[in-house]
Amino acid sequence: MDFSHITIKVNDLSKSIEFYSKFGFNVLFKMDDQALIQNENVNILLRMFGENEISFYDENYVEKEVYNDPSGTKIEFSNKRIQKYNYPPTIAAKLIKADLKKVWDTFVNPNGWDEWFTNGMTMVLKEEGKMKIRWFDQTYGEEVLDEGIIHTLIEHNKIVFSWNKYGDIYKSMVTMRFFEAQIGGTWIYVEDENLVTNEEEFKIKLDCAVGWGEMLTLAKFWIEKGISIFK
């Protein structure tokens, strides 16, 4: 079953978890500043208010996110732009019926996602390691080329990388988290932050939202059934 996903900013994470538990929500994973809870076919990501420093473009581009408004408005400051917008991150998740190591190794390896999604991807598996991405867009019949860089790599837990390269900056930061599911199998949770300053970039954000759903579904078929549209 696919799940609906909602992100809610909260002031007190523990009290929020306690509140939602009264409605049958269970904690799937919990960190210091956020927790993912689930009830039937609804996932809710509870995220703390506060400041979060992110360096996900090039070394000269540092961005600060400030979540200081109950409406979830994000205010961004950088040395290249100042912009306020209300677009939340793209969030996608999938439960895969396989052990954590197998799922991790399928997503994080030197050849990337070539077995089931891309067509010429490489990953240098270390922090500051480079990524090269090539895939053939099945919808529009186009070849897509991109570059990225890995910022965080915690084995069997989390990978954070930037991609959507434009000139000397990257327009997107992706966090992929992996954790064992209480009901068996492995959850993969994707959060994609996109730079959106115009209508074209908003269209790209929507295309990426569709793309992540497609990518995770293809991964599930490959890992669980050994089925790939490229084989």
Q: What is the pTM of this model?
A: 0.64
CA distance 67 to 149: 26
pLDDT in tens, 77-101: 333 333 333 467 788 889 999 999 9
Q: What is the pLDDT of residue 24?
A: 83
Q: Considering all CA atoms of the chain, what is the largest pairwise distance in Å, rounded to the nearest integer?
A: 49
Q: How confident is the model at residue 124 (pLDDT cuts 50, 70, 90)?
A: very high
pLDDT in tens, 155-194: 999 999 998 887 777 888 899 999 988 788 999 999 888 8
pLDDT at 153 over 70: yes
pLDDT at 200 over 90: no
- Which domains are present in the chain? 1-48 (3.10.180.10), 87-225 (3.30.530.20)
Range from 21-30, 89-98, 159-168, 195-204 carrying the lowest mean pLDDT: 195-204
Residues 144-150: contacts with CB under 8 Å, at least 24 apart: 150/123, 150/124, 150/125, 150/126
Q: What is the pLDDT of residue 75?
A: 36
Sequence letter at residue 60: N
For the chain, what is the mean pLDDT? 77
On the CB side of 185, how many CA atoms lie within 13 Å of its CA? 11
Report in angstroms the alpha-carbon separations of 50 from 91, 178, 184: 20, 24, 34
10 Å CB burial of residue 67 (0-12, 13-18, 19+) is middle
Report in angstroms the alpha-carbon separations of 18 from 11, 75, 100: 13, 29, 28
Pairing of strands 74-77, 63-67: antiparallel
CA distance 3 to 8: 16
pLDDT at 63 over 60: no
User: Tokens representing 224?
Assistant: 């669980």
Q: What is the pLDDT of residue 65?
A: 37
